[in-house]
Amino acid sequence: MSDRPRAAILLTGSELARGAIRDANGPFLARELTGLGLEPARWTLVGDAPEELEAALREGLAAHLCVVSGGLGPTHDDRTVELLARATGRALHVDAELERDIDGVARAVAERLGRPYAELAVGVRKQASLPEGAVSLGLAGTAPALLLEHEDGRVAVTLPGPPGELRRLWPRVVESAPVQALASRARPREQRVLRFFAVPEAAVALAVEHAGGEGDGVELTICARNFELEVDLLVSPGGEERAAALEDELVAGFGDALFARDERPVAALVLDRCRELGLTLATAESCTGGLVGARLTDVAGASDVYLGGVVAYANEVKAARLGVGEDVLARHGAVSEETARAMAAGARAALGADVGIAVTGVAGPRGGTAEKPVGLVHVAAEGPGGATAREFRFPGDREEIRERAAVMALHEARTLLARL
């Protein structure tokens, strides 16, 4: 077991437990805690039922640092602070300074929305109630981030559930003296990343085993998703030689498939390569409905490279907006290599871009045939140095097929750009 301080992440909210919304806080917090040198030993997702939440809090409080997201609002089902007080045996009290701060925010919100202040006033006192010994680290809206030191120097932190608010307040947590004290006890570790494309997870695991596996100051994890495989090596002081040997083994065996040594998404790699070459980029999408463009515009600063895209779902749009020949559509169909290539060329022409990326396929659950089944996808990329296209047959449901198609289209563009 690691001798580093352990952290527990508690994600609260019945909407999360029911699957009504996806959690975005757990991965963020885990990465941040790892960067501090702490061991994110447990994630727990729990609904708003008091007995369930209190039990989860008691478990989480056994860790050196327990970080809780959600349940800090003014409504009846926002119970995190109340139950944290109960779990730590602390009384609740109203912090006068915090109450004034929340009151000021609430009045401004009421004025901006044109609503009576009385509608918001009822929650101000509730949100300003803290367990004895807790301190506020700041507000996001009317929700405060709280820090409480409790038994044996352990620390509990509560943060708002909305990801933007949580991330805005997280630096205050990191800067706090109790969290800094925990981080100072952690042995700093270097993270090395190797990312491979279209390499079997089992093959990499076998190579790691042949190289002697982890240990000697190196912890290694392998994660596969959508045909990308990421190998993370967490290297403690003294483990550098062992890490280098593992890296050398993996690069020797799979170097042709190595596409990155950092965690930038493939969209960012495509954009960065276009910048290096002074090229602009456009997309043409059918079955993905704009997902490729969305991945590109998820990257801050994409506008200096990415000009835009055409979502051409209907054949009429493929012909009219992208210039796909009606003879191509009639002879080969909308889901074909020929159409994908024509769409990539059409994106370049329609938007005046140097590079075009295209994807067309059958995402399902209906529309497949024996010749062109659900999961059949064609991607293409075209640039100043030529063009490339590939066919894939993806398993999965509609969402999975569309996601995989978008990833593959970006990798096809990455491969094309790597040759320039």
CATH number at residue 293: 3.90.950.20
Q: Are residues 16 and 66 in the same domain?
A: yes
- What is the predicted pLDDT for the residue at 122? 84
Q: Are residues 326 and 348 in the same domain?
A: yes
Angle between helices 96-113 and 118-127 (to 10 degrees): 150
- What is the predicted pLDDT for the residue at 213? 87
Q: Are residues 207 and 311 in the same domain?
A: no
- What is the predicted pLDDT for the residue at 358? 98
- What is the predicted pLDDT for the residue at 186? 84
- 396 vs 103, 274, 404, CA distance in Å? 50, 32, 9
Distance, CA of 394 to CA of 362 (rounded, Å): 10
Which element (helix H / strand E) includes 60?
helix 50-60
Range of the domain at 360: 266-418
- What is the predicted pLDDT for the residue at 188? 73
Q: Are residues 278 and 366 in the same domain?
A: yes
pTM of the model: 0.83
Last residue of a domain, which of 129, 151, 185?
A: 185
Q: Alpha helices of 286-382 — where are they, by DSSP H?
A: 291-297, 315-322, 326-332, 337-351
Q: Are residues 82 and 146 in the same domain?
A: yes
In order along its 420 residues, the chain shows pLDDT tens digits of 457 899 999 999 999 999 999 999 999 999 999 889 899 999 999 999 999 999 999 999 999 999 999 999 999 889 999 999 999 999 999 999 999 999 999 999 999 999 999 988 889 999 999 999 999 999 999 999 999 999 999 999 999 999 999 999 999 999 999 999 999 998 778 999 999 999 999 999 999 998 888 889 999 999 998 899 999 999 988 999 999 999 999 999 999 999 999 999 999 999 999 999 999 999 999 999 999 999 999 999 999 999 999 999 999 999 999 999 999 999 999 999 999 999 999 999 999 999 999 999 999 999 999 999 999 999 999 999 899 999 999 999 999 999 999 999 999 999 999 999
Last residue of a domain, which of 185, 207, 241?
A: 185
Residue 225 lies in a domain: yes
Q: Are residues 62 and 145 in the same domain?
A: yes
User: For residue 26, what is the domain's CATH number?
Assistant: 3.40.980.10
- What is the predicted pLDDT for the residue at 2? 55
Rg (alpha carbons) of the chain, rounded to whole number: 26
Per the structure, the count of domains in the chain is 3
**Within 10 Å of residue 1's Cβ, how many Cβ atoms?**
6
Pairing label, strands 306-311, 228-235: unpaired
Q: Are residues 288 and 164 in the same domain?
A: no
Nearby residues of 21 by Cβ (< 8 Å), 6 or more positions away: 15
Q: Are residues 197 and 314 in the same domain?
A: no
